[in-house]
Amino acid sequence: MSTGLLPEPDQPGRVVDAELHLLDRQVLDVDGEPVCTVDDLELGAVGDDPDIDRPLAGDTTVVVTALLSGPVLGGVVGGRPDSSRRHRIAWRYVTDIGTAVHLGAHGEQFSATWVERWLRERVFSRIPGGRHDPEADE
């Protein structure tokens, strides 16, 4: 891109940029159903308890421990959204990173979908036609 830079050595795994490939992408579950968007990433030291939230610098090996969802507007207003309002999806569920981020589990099991599930079970299932499959023949 410009001169005076050391050439980046080849890496032993796939190279992914957080902003470019992960953040703000749609997350799809094992059936291809939407779960949430990737609103942020949780970073942690290898071996740390996932509940520990601490700044980490170059002396520690850092890995992505989870995808985080909501509240997206926290980042718009400024300051850091409260961690209790974020939903975690552990990195081990991620199976593929493409134009969407794919999970190997059902969306129902993640807290990120609780509003959707609540509306489905408490409200929409009770409205006539709420469970009607629009693609089925009448």
Partner 1 sequence: MRGPLAVALGILTAIGGFLDAGDLVTNAVVGSRFGLTLAWVVVMGVIGICVFAHMSGKVAAVSGRATFEIIRERLGPRAAGANLVASLAVTVLTLTAEIGGMALALQLASSVERRLWMPVAALAVWLVLWRVRFQVMENVTGLLGLTLIGFAVALYLLGPDWGELARQTLQPAVPPSEGAAVYWYFAIALLGAAMTPYEVFFFSSGGVEERWTVKDLATSRLNVFVGFPFGGVLSIAIAGCAAVVLLPLGIEVDAMSQIVLPVAQAGGPLLLAVVIVGLVSATTGAALETALSAGYTLSQYLGWSWGKFRRPAEAARFHVAMIVALVVAVGVLMTGVDPIAVTEYSVVFSAVALPLTYLPILVVANDPEYMGEHVNGRVLNAVGTLYLVILVVASAAAVPLMIVTEAGA
Partner 2 sequence: MIAGDLIDVEVRDADGERLGYVVDLRLVLDRPPEAGAVLAGARLHGLVVSPRTRTSFLGYERTSVRAPWPIAQLLRRRHRGSFLVHWPDVASVPSLDATRRGKGAIVVLRRGFDRYDPALT
Backbone dihedral region for residue 30 (phi beyond 0: left; psi -120 to 50: alpha; all else: beta): alpha
Burial of 69 (0-12, 13-18, 19+ CB in 10 A): buried
79 binds partner 2 (CB under 8 A): yes
AA identity, residue 118: W
CA-based end-to-end distance of the chain: 59
Sign of CA dihedral 8, 13, 18, 20: positive
65 binds partner 1 (CB under 8 A): no
Determine the interface stretch with partner 2 among 6-14, 108-116, 118-126, 129-137 (rule: CB under 8 A): 6-14
18 binds partner 2 (CB under 8 A): yes
Give me the 106-135 binding string for partner 2, x by CB under 8 A, dash otherwise.
Answer: ------------------------------
- 4, 27, 62, 108: which one binds partner 1 (CB under 8 A): 27
- 75, 106, 118, 119: which one binds partner 2 (CB under 8 A): 75
